[in-house]
Structure 1
Amino acid sequence: MEIAGKVAIITGGASGLGEATVRRLAGMGARVAIFDMNEARGNAVAAELGANVSYQNVNVSSEESVQAAIAAVMARHGALHICCNYAGIANAIKTLGKQGAFPLAEFNKVIQVNLVGTFNVLRLAAEQMAKNEPINRDGGRGVIINTASVAAYEGQIGQAAYSASKG
């Protein structure tokens, strides 16, 4: 895919792998929307990289939040071609620790962001991409990249929820 001129959304784009991807795609001429909950860092990255990078405060596990952010991207750019999912959280809680069993609410929180949130974003991004004209001879209309983790196979102590969400 020719990156220049394409429109990308990057979840978790205010730090880590997400930020590195924002910088790379912007450097290749893409228009990039950072989807993240860290407003200060997201705005700082967007301001540093210029007019082709914007920030949206997005809770990936909220259908309404993602819909509103994608609508803002569509209003600004008129298309969506690339979706990279990096957003994720982790908590360091043992399955059975001194305080008792791993709280189910904490497990569910990680699953909601890392697993359900990823699916929520990719399904809504795919819906928009389906409206694009084909961008290659195979009829492709965009690309979605989801990031996994070796922790799914080699989890560490205290990573039960994160490991379960990243496989």
Structure 2
Amino acid sequence: MFIFFTLGGTECLLLAVMAYDRYVAICNPLHYALVMNHKVCIQLVAASWITTIPFFIGQTWKVFSLPFCASHTINHFFCDVPPLLKLACGDTFVNETAFFVVAIAMVFIVVPFLLIVVSYGKIICNILKLSSARGRSKAFSTCSSHLTVVVLFYGTGVITYLQPKQNPSERIQTKSV
């Protein structure tokens, strides 16, 4: 669980860093080498890892310090927080609030996503100001691979985590059919 969430949180932050890189490359091309030098790139990557690792060590410790009772079987592909919290005997409200609302939603999902949206909003405004169609095409093609990764990453996360919950009776009916 620690590895999964550390890699996911780092990915969100790195996607925001990459959006900033594309913003500098397209909106300030003459300053690109100065702004995005090797030292800055290393610092941005290190900051992404340094931000996620301690946080998810704490979150993993909080989840696994809960008392667990009854079955210890998780019917999922990997050890994720929602199924683990269902197995916990104690009060999980603090864990749920800290993990989903404060940590994941704000620090590792919403803020990087908003930075990506703002960066690409400025990029698109700048691209539309270009006079040549070839220049616009080249600028859009520069961003297309990163935008594809952002859509795939956040799209699959939305599909996985923001689905409406099934009632237990619906689960039984779908299994018997």
Could you tell me the TM-score, scaled by structure 1's length?
A: 0.34
Q: Please state which structure has a larger fraction of its residues in strand.
A: 1
Bigger RCO (CA 8 Å, 6+ sep): 2
Could you tell me the TM-score, scaled by structure 2's length?
A: 0.33
Max Rg structure: 2
